[in-house]
Homo-oligomer: A and B are copies of this chain.
Amino acid sequence: MSLAAPFYTSPEVFDLDIAEIFSKQWIFVATEPEIAEPGDFVTVTLGRYSVIIARDDDEQVQAYHNVCRHRGARILAEESGSVGNIVCSYHQWTYGMDGKLLYAEGQSPTFDKSCFSLRSVNVRSIAGLIFICLADEPPADIDDVAAIVAPYLEPHDLRKAKVAKQVDLVEHGNWKLTMENNRECYHCSVGHPELLNTFFPTWGYSDSEAIPTRLRPIFDRFNAAMVEHKAVWDHYGLPHERVAELDTRPTGFHIEREPMDLAGESFTLDGTVASTKLLTDMPVTRLGRLSMHAQPNLWLHITSDHAITFSVLPIGPDTCRVRTTWLVHEDAEEGVDYDLDRMTNVWEITNQQDANFVGLAQEGISSPAYVPGPYAPSEFQVEAFINWYIGRLRFHRGIPDDHLSVVQEAG
């Protein structure tokens, strides 16, 4: 059953989500190609937090609270850029890329600069995917997760990629509705005609008997493609066993490698590659997709020619932001090696369709007449998301095992 209405509508639960989920879990916020060089930075808004993600002079990824230690001004106002030092524009307090206060004019002789470094934030890159955790003690299983997923991701060399396009879409729904929408393809058949050119709509069905009659020919085609692709993946040493730990660990995730339909190469309308400069040296275009989901806010797909990452960040009880980033090989040239519109248009359309569904869900659930309804069997990943979410709230708050008590606690 879906959650009770306050989980999607109440300001108190929104505050709870920021405090207990987005401030205590590992949150996917950027990719390494966005800060390729020392001094490069992006700023990320997470609830009321603003965090600077920057590459330091030793080429390491660092994260700091974007708050001056003098009188609290926002230091870097831009969403991205490149700097030598981190300088607050208000009174020119100047911090190194290591976060240390280097200079503050006009202080008394007793002023101790070492007490006023930028406050750091835990940060972790897994194969080029940057996660931060605002808590002092982040979930420790990130090491285990990294050990499992890195072998799947690293052959695709995301650290050597560059950003082809990045789009932010504000959706008029609670962030959990956006995640739930992502976690099932029950809505794809009518909802996403363009995506379904290459994405098998049988996703979510494991048992051929349960599949609606109209989908059975497609399921047969999917199974045949799976046999073909496994041979290719094995040939190139690409791990492809599905790992499904969405609700069985603190840093829940799911990774899988699957074939795609039509040409089977990429998320284009005909399935052929959008970039002829592939992400890696493997001389094969028809590789299907490597897909990863991580709780609470990530999904991504990697094909032979490009990668697409999605991060969801809450804005308010009924609004969130979905950031979509397309990555290509760092040497690929737009207009020469790849056609940007062709590469991006299927997911741009799909995102808009999903935003519409999320908006309808938010509007409907906001009615006092809403009552939780039953998930279909193919919505099992939605259930896994809900289970993980409630489990994490319980873990962080130490409260009993049912949905409504969480809300009461919040209220």
Tell me if A398 counts as interface (CB < 8 A to partner B).
no
Q: Judge whether A210 and B106 touch: CB under 8 Å.
A: yes
Q: Mark A103-128, 1 if CB is under 8 A from B, else 0.
A: 01111100100001001000000000
Q: Chain B residues near A370: list those with CB within 8 A.
A: 67, 72
Question: A368 contacts the other chain (Cβ, under 8 Å)?
Answer: yes
Contact with B along A44-71 (1 / 0, CB 8 A): 0001111000000000000001111111
Interface residues of A in 352-392 (CB under 8 A from B): 357, 360-361, 363-378
Residues of B within 8 A of A23 (CB): 368
Taking each of A47, A116, A376, A378, which has the highest tally of chain B beta carbons within 10 Å of its own beta carbon? Answer: A376
Q: Is A165 an interface residue (CB 8 A)?
A: no
Query: Does the CB pair B74–A363 fall under 8 Å?
Result: yes
Q: Given that A48-B366, A105-B212, A369-B49 are known contacts, is A77 also in contact with B360, CB under 8 Å in the complex?
A: yes
A166 interface residue (CB < 8 Å to B): no
A2 touching B367, Cβ below 8 Å: no
Choose, from A184-192, A230-238, A285-293, A341-349, the stretch at the interface: A184-192
CB-based contact A106/B376 at 8 Å: yes
A91 part of interface (Cβ distance < 8 Å)? yes
Residues in B neighbouring A248, C-beta threshold 8 A: none
Q: Is the CB of A91 within 8 A of B2?
A: no
Complex alpha-carbon distance, A361 and B191, angstroms: 44
Contact with B along A14-56 (1 / 0, CB 8 A): 0000000001000000000000000000000001111000000
Q: Is the CB of A70 within 8 A of B373?
A: yes
Known: A89-B190, A106-B212. A67 touches B360 (CB 8 A): no
Pairwise interchain contact B73-A361, C-beta atoms closer than 8 A: yes
Docked complex Cα distance between A70 and B92 (Å): 56
Contacts of A69 in B (CB 8 A): 371, 373
- Closest Cβ of chain B: how far from A18's Cβ, in Å? 9
Nearest opposing residue in chain B for A5, CB measure: B72
Decide: A75 near B364, CB < 8 A? Known: A70-B374, A106-B186, A377-B108: yes
Report the minimum CB–CB distance from A387 to chain B (whole Å).
Answer: 16
Q: Is A395 an interface residue (CB 8 A)?
A: no
A374 and B111 contact, CB distance less than 8 A:
yes
Distance A180 CA – B376 CA, assembled complex (angstroms):
50
> When A190-B89, A368-B48, A369-B119 are in contact, do A361 and B105 touch as well, CB less than 8 Å?
no
CA distance A366 to B50 in the complex (A): 9
Contact with B along A166-198 (1 / 0, CB 8 A): 000000000000001000001101110000000
A365→B108 CA distance, assembly (Å): 24
B364 engages A92 (CB within 8 Å): no
- Max count, chain B CB within 10 A of own CB: residue among A69, A90, A119, A189: A90
**Chain B residues with CB below 8 A from A364, complex form:** 50, 66-68, 72-75
Apart from A49-B369, A71-B180, what are 15 other A-B pairs with CB-CB below 8 Å?
Answer: A47-B368, A50-B363, A69-B373, A71-B361, A71-B375, A72-B361, A73-B357, A74-B363, A77-B363, A90-B357, A90-B361, A105-B186, A106-B205, A107-B376, A119-B369
**Which residues of A are in contact with B by a Cβ distance under 8 Å?**
2, 5, 23, 47-50, 65-75, 77, 89-92, 104-108, 111, 116, 119, 180, 186-187, 189-191, 205, 210-212, 357, 360-361, 363-378
Give the top 10 A-B pairs by smallest Cβ distance, nearest first. Answer: A65-B369, A74-B363, A74-B364, A72-B365, A73-B360, A74-B360, A72-B364, A72-B370, A73-B364, A67-B364
